[in-house]
Amino acid sequence: MASSAHTFLSFVFYTIFLSFGSYKAEARRFNDISSLVSKGLFDSIFLHKDNNACPAKGFYTYNSFIQASRCFPQFGRTGSSITRKREVAAFLAQISHETTGGWATAPDGPFAWGLCFKEEVSPQSNYCDSSNTQWPCSPGKSYKGRGPIQLSWNYNYGPAGKALGFDGLNNPDIVSNNSLIAFKTALWFWMTEQNPKPSCHNVMIGKYKPTAADVIANRTAGYGLVTNIINGGLECGIPNDGRVNDRIGYFQRYATLFNVSTGSNLDCEDQKSF
């Protein structure tokens, strides 16, 4: 009897152990961004990123996106299922506008051509703010837009590199030469608060708390505020701006693919920039 009882208890504990292992594996899967964005969904979002017409053909891979997201465990993993999906849709929409190769009559529509470019075409300057002594420019280097978010300026390359482990000031080209680092810079910008700007992440998950200055400037929570954070100085406060509308168009398409609503306050035409 004692032997039988011991065998039975061993079986029970072994079953519990296997169940716990399966639970942990399932928890890891659920907490991974791949549970929200499958390879199939990623490919349906970026229908033409590997088109021969796109200079970034073959650069922005699904695996790089997933690996980069794992460095930012709060991205797409905070809040309800709707909140998580909406944040990821918003992020992918913004990087799509930044790298778009679409046009009004493009095959499958203008919002099927995100991630077509990996660096800025015909930059108007080298984006060096020489007054910024904390992140001094390296001679001969250009800090033009690169990667999914089109990271620009020495004061972004420097801290991004420090946070992610590359030399952003002396080797900015790595952002357009390394797919994983490229996605990491986009997510770094998305997740990082740059006072007085909140992080795009906190805006999309409902943790944005407007200051008195924000209230006066009508900087209300929503996708439009994310646009303001990214490029408000050039695009916000302008009625019916085409660039803002392009960002919205991408978001609307992606929200539909994620089966979520976009939420309110999609534009920033009534907001003052930061």
Catalytic residues: 98
Q: What's the rounded Cα separation, in Å, for the pair 198 and 84?
A: 18
Q: What's the rounded Cα separation, in Å, for the pair 6 and 3?
A: 5
Q: What are phi and psi of 151, to 5 degrees?
A: -55, 130
Place of tokens 């906190």: 202
Q: What's the rounded Cα separation, in Å, for the pair 203 and 181?
A: 24
Q: What's the rounded Cα separation, in Å, for the pair 144 and 70?
A: 26
Name the percent of the chain in helix, strand, coil, to the closest 5.
50, 0, 50
Q: What's the rounded Cα separation, in Å, for the pair 77 and 226?
A: 18
Q: What's the rounded Cα separation, in Å, for the pair 223 and 247?
A: 9
In 145-271, where does DSSP find H-type helix? 154-164, 179-191, 200-204, 212-216, 223-235, 242-258
